[in-house]
């Protein structure tokens, strides 16, 4: 099994702090119906099924998030394949966020 190069796992506290400071752009790569059913406040929807890394803003610290950390790694692979230097994701994803009782929109 091949390792994804340089995927950086972030935990909930780092995500919370980054969102609070406005230092990260949390990109939720779950499907639209999943996002609509509940998402992390401040995150934006960018479904993996129609993923286009070139539409992501430049100059922002982009962090991918999904349900549990699988699709967010795929999003990193897609972004890197298209030449974007994005390697951070929220390892626990939405399930970790919701299970911890964090606010959900």
Q: How far apart are CA 70 and CA 4, in angstroms?
A: 12
| Marked catalytic residue, from 66, 73, 75, 86 | 66
Distance CA 92, CA 21 (A): 20
Residue 80 sits at the vertex; the CA angle it makes with 30 and 98, to the nearest 5 degrees, is 25
The encoded tokens of residue 6 equal 């340089």
Whether 99 sits among the annotated catalytic residues: the reply is: no
Catalytic residues: 66
């Amino acid at each position: 099994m091949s390792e994804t190069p340089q995927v950086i796992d972030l935990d909930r506290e780092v995500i919370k702090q980054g969102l609070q400071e406005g230092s990260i752009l949390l990109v939720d790569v779950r499907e639209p119906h999943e996002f609509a059913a509940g998402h992390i406040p401040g995150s934006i929807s960018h479904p993996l099924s129609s993923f286009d890394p070139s539409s992501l803003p430049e100059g922002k610290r982009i962090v991918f998030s999904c349900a549990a950390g699988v699709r967010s790694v795929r999003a990193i692979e897609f972004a890197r394949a298209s030449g974007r230097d994005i390697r951070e994701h929220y390892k626990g994803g939405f399930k970790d966020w919701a299970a911890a009782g964090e606010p959900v929109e």
